Structure 1
Amino acid sequence: MEDGYTLEDLRTRLNDVFSVENCTLNLYAIIKIDGSFVIKRVSFDGNLTKTLKEHMEVSIKESNLFGEDVILKNLSECDDRRNVVCKLDMEIGGELACFVELNENHGDNYDVLDLENDLKNIRALVVDVDAAGKKMQIYNHIYPTEILGKKRFIVSVIDNRLRKIDNPLLLINNNFQAIQVDGNIVVTNINFIEQHAGYKQVIREKALSACASLTAFGCIENVSYYEDLIEGDNSLARKLSRIVEHSPVIKNNIPHPTIIAFCKSYPSLRNKIKFNNSETQIVLHTKVAMRLILKLFLDDHLTSELTTLHYESQAKDSVD
C-alpha cells in the first residue's frame, strides 16, 4: 500500500472497536426508489445493540479480513488473486456510493425509514458503531430472498409447535461486502462491486484510457484488439486498467528494441509473441499473447540475481 496503511493496521483498529464493551450503534438502510439510491436511518430496539455488535464481530473475524495469506491492495491495483481485499481509492457508483457518503458524513441525521412501506426497497444495511470514539461501519447487502414480507406465509417454531408470524422479517446474514474504519473503506468482495457498484464502467473507462496510452507508446501494432475485448472480458479489462498508472515499462520509457529482445529471450514469452515483418512492433494475435503482453507492461516477469531462476509475480515490493 502506497500510503502505508496495512491489513494489520485494519485488524488492530477493528480489535480496538470490539474491545470496548459499551458502544453506540446506529443502523442505516440504503433503499432504491425510482432508480436512485437513498440513505435512511433505521429505528430498532435498543436491546439489539449488544447482540448485533457481537454478530458483526463474529462475521468479521471469520471473514477474509482475518484470513491467512490475505493481501491488502488499492482497488485501482486489484488483480485476479482470490486472497485480495482492496482499499477504496477510486470513485465508485451504485449503492456503494451511499456507503462512501456515510463515511464522509458520519453522524448526519437522515430521514427515518418507513419499515412498513419501504422494507421491500432495502438494498443494503450499514451498521455504524462508535466505541468510545473508535468508529466502524459495516456494509451488508440485502438480497430479495432476505426480505420476507407480509405476503409470505411465515411460521416459527415455538414450544415445539409451528406458529404463524404475521410481521415481515428481515434476515441480516454474516456476509458483508465492505467495511470502513478511520475513514478507510476496504472492499472484501470484488465480484459484488462489479455487479452493484458501477465498478465495471469505471474499469472499462480506465481500460480504454490504457489502450490510448499503449497506442501512444507505440510498441504494439494493433492495440484495437484489446479494445474489442474490454466489454466482455472483465479480467482483461482490470489488467488493462492498471497500465496507465502502474506500468514501469511505460513510466520508464523502455526502448522498443529492448522490449522486443526481452520477448524473444524470456522463457515464458519466447516463441509466444508475434512481431511485424520489421520486428519493430508486437502484433497481438491470440488471447494468450494479449495477456502475456499485459504482464510484460506491468513488469510481472522477474529473474532472481542469486539463482537466475525466472518468476512471475504480481506483488512487487521495491527495494531500490
Structure 2
Amino acid sequence: MNAGNLKKSLNNYFDDYDDIGVTVYAVLKNQDSSDPVKLDIEADALGGLKELFMDSLRDTLLDKDELSILNLSSSDERVDAVYVYDLELPVELTSLEKVITQDNLPLLNLNDESLSSIKSLLIEIGNNVGQLVLYKTMASINIYGRSSFFLKKSQSRLEKLNDEFLRVSAGFQMLRIDDSLLVIDLATLEKSFGFHDVIKREAASGISAIESASLVENPDVLHELIEDVKYARKLTKVAKSSPVIKAGIPSTTIVDFCKTFPRLAGRIRFNENEDKILLDTKVSKDLFINLLMDNYLTSELTSYHYTSVAKDSVDNEETNDSSSTDSNQTDE
C-alpha cells in the first residue's frame, strides 16, 4: 500500500458518507480472550461518533500533503509516517479482524461489567460493500466512575451525575483497511500488546543473518541489544531489508568501506586480522547497524558524503507517490 492507494480508499468512504454506518466494540481488560464485545449506543450518539472519527481520518491521513507509507519491519525515523504492520500479529490485535469477519459478537452487559473494564475501542465504519476499523486505546482518565462527584447542567441548574460515563475523543492509534493493518502511533504499539516479544523474535533473525555473513568478530554482543526495543526494531529491519546483506557484499569490501568513509573512519575497530568488525562501544554498534542499512551515501553529482536514514528507492517512485523526508548529514 502507498499513500495514493490509502487516500483513494478513504475517499470512497467520504463519497458514501450518508450511506455508511458506525458500530463500536470494546476490548476488555483482564479477559482470557481477545474477542471484542459490542457496545449498545443510541442512534444520535452513533451519528456524532461517525462525524468525530471521519473528521479524525481526514485530519490524520487524508489532508496530509506529505505522507509516507512504510513497512513496519523496515521503518525509519521520518516524521508523519504510517507503518504497514508486516510482522507476527499479537493476539490482541486479531480483534480488528474479528470485527470485520464476525457478525454475532456479544453485547457488553453493563449490569455485569463496569466501564472501567474497557481497555480499547474498535470503531467499525462502513456498509455491506466495505468496512474499515479504527483501534483506539482508552486511557483511565477518560473513564469516569461512580466514586467521583460530577455535576451536569440541566436547564438553569446543576444536577448530580450518578452513572459512569466515557469521554471519547478524536484520534486513533491503528487502522485496519483493505486487508492491511496500519500503525498511526508507533509509540503505543511499542508499549502494548506484547509487541516487544514479537520484535525480539524478529531481531534474532537479524542477528542470525549477521552471523551467517561473518561480518563481526564478536556477534554475541548483539544478543544483548535485543532487550532494548529501540535496538530490537533496528535489528528487525536488518533481518527484513538490509541492502548490504541482501546484496551479499563481501566482508573485505565492508571493512575497506569502514576505513575510508568519513563518518566511519576511526570510529569502528577491527579484529587482529582486520577482516571482521569489532563491536566494542555503543557508538560502533549504532554505526554498524546504519552500515548494514546502507545509510552512508556518496552523491554521484557532488561526491559529498551523507548519512541518510530515510530513503526511497528510485525503482519504486512510480508505485509510491508519497514524499520522503530524508534525514541527511553532510560529512565533508
Q: Scaled by the length of structure 1, what TM-score is found?
A: 0.91
Instruction: Name the CA distance, whole Å, in 1 between partners of 2:3 and 2:111.
Output: 40
Instruction: Tell me if structure 1 keeps the 8 A contact 2:10–2:62.
Output: no
Aligned partner letter, 2:273? S
Residue 308 of structure 1: aligned partner: 303
Q: CA deviation at 1:306?
A: 1.6
Instruction: Name the CA distance, whole Å, in 2 between partners of 1:266 and 1:80.
Output: 22
* 1:278 and 2:273 are equivalent in the alignment: yes
* 1:215 and 2:220 are equivalent in the alignment: no
* 1:112 and 2:107 are equivalent in the alignment: yes
Give CA-to-partner distance per residue, 1:194-234, whole Å, 9 cap, x none. 11222111111111221122112111011111211221x22
Match of 1:55, SS state, is helix
Query: Higher RCO, 1 or 2 (CA under 8 Å, sep at least 6)?
Result: 2
Instruction: Tell me if structure 1 keeps the 8 A contact 2:121–2:138.
Output: yes
Aligned partner letter, 1:15? N
Residue 185 of structure 1: aligned partner: 181
- Alignment match of 2:81 (pick from 80, 84, 95): 84
Instruction: Name the CA distance, whole Å, in 2 between partners of 1:319 and 1:59.
Output: 33
Instruction: Name the CA distance, whole Å, in 2 between partners of 1:141 and 1:157.
Output: 28
Instruction: Tell me if structure 2 keeps the 8 A contact 1:92–1:197.
Output: no
5+ residue gaps, structure 1: none
Q: Scaled by the length of structure 2, what TM-score is found?
A: 0.88
Instruction: Name the CA distance, whole Å, in 2 between partners of 1:123 and 1:61.
Output: 25
- What does residue range 198-237 of structure 1 map to in structure 2 within 5 Å? 198-231=194-227, 233-237=228-232
Give CA-to-partner distance per residue, 1:137-190, whole Å, 9 cap, x none. 111111122111223222223335332111210111112011122222211011
Q: CA deviation at 1:97?
A: 2.8
- Alignment match of 1:44 (pick from 41, 48, 52): 41
Structure 1 range deviating more: 262-271 or 246-255:
246-255
Q: CA deviation at 1:71?
A: 1.3
Instruction: Tell me if structure 2 keeps the 8 A contact 1:30–1:122.
Output: yes
What RMSD in Å do the two structures reach over aligned CA positions? 2.0
Q: CA deviation at 1:133?
A: 1.9
Residue 58 of structure 1: aligned partner: 55
Instruction: Tell me if structure 1 keeps the 8 A contact 2:74–2:240.
Output: no
Q: CA deviation at 1:31?
A: 1.2
Instruction: Tell me if structure 1 keeps the 8 A contact 2:126–2:132.
Output: yes
Aligned partner letter, 1:39? P
Aligned partner letter, 1:73? L
Structure 1 stretches of at least 4 aligned residues deviating more than 6 Å after TM superposition = none
Instruction: Name the CA distance, whole Å, in 1 between partners of 2:30 and 2:8.
Output: 38
Percent identical: 30
